[in-house]
Amino acid sequence: MSDSPLQISPSILAADFADLRAGLEAIATADWAHVDVMDNHFVPNLTLGRPVVEALARVSPVPLDCHLMIEDPDRWAPGYAEAGAGSVTFHVEAATDPVATARAIRSEGARAAVALKPGTPFAPYRDLLDEVDMVLVMTVEPGFGGQSFMTDQLAKVRQVREAVSRRGGEIWVQVDGGVAQDTIGACVEAGADVFVAGSAVYGAEDVAAAVAGLRATAAAHRCG
């Protein structure tokens, strides 16, 4: 387990796309706003791109946590940092030169992170810990919200947390996909400290209460 703060990053993929400003304002008590960028090639879904991220960054009460599910992140990822994202995550499966890409993101002033799909092992990418601020372990197949949490990914979360602890330094471990009241505890116990939740937050009647609820459950599992 880590002792870094537990952070909640609601995914606006589950918000009303006709009113994203309201969606952002509703999560002002969260730590980040998770923005899923999909290009219809890396994943079979298409969402939004840099111009929209730029617009969201101007009105968001919390920093943007951009999750790029796109091909050729080497070319495109630094542009999202330039657009105003506070954190830019790209997939190792899509990157040709992840070291250069992470450095380019950081040089634009954002945190850099790498994401692993459920079928992608962590071990070959361990050395990237020298270049990133966060590792995202996907707990669903990327592409869509509302899928079931993949419990078998917790072993990878544990593996990443152990590698981060051995190495030292402040590298966050994020989980994304199916994170809700009934799954967040196991994520905390495995060593995650940043939690993306789409449907569990925006599907709730009271969005702010859902954020607070996830935070409380996460905190209870770290102590327990």
The span of 25-33, 93-101, 126-134, 176-184 binding ligand DX5 (CB under 6 A) equals 176-184
Residue 196 contacts ligand DX5 per CB under 6 A? yes
CA angle 182, 25, 191 (to 5 degrees): 35
CA–CA distance, 85 with 96 (Å, rounded to integer): 22
Is residue 72 flagged as an active site residue? no
State the catalytic residue, choosing from 31, 133, 176, 193.
Answer: 176
The answer to whether residue 176 is catalytic is: yes
Using the rule CB under 6 A, which residue among 11, 60, 87, 153 binds ligand DX5? Answer: 11
Q: Which of 79, 86, 142, 213 binds ligand DX5 (CB under 6 A)?
A: 142
Q: Please list every residue from 96 through 135 that binds ligand DX5, using CB under 6 A.
A: none
- Which of 193, 198, 213, 218 binds ligand DX5 (CB under 6 A)? It is 198
Determine, following the binding rule CB under 6 A, whether residue 73 of this chain makes contact with ligand DX5. Answer: no
Residue 191's binding partner among Zn ion, ligand DX5, none (Cβ under 5 to 8 angstroms by kind) is: none
Please select the residue that binds ligand DX5; options are 140, 173, 187, 211, rule is CB under 6 A: 140
Q: Tell me which stretch binds Zn ion (CB under 5 A): 45-53, 59-67, 155-163, 184-192.
A: 59-67
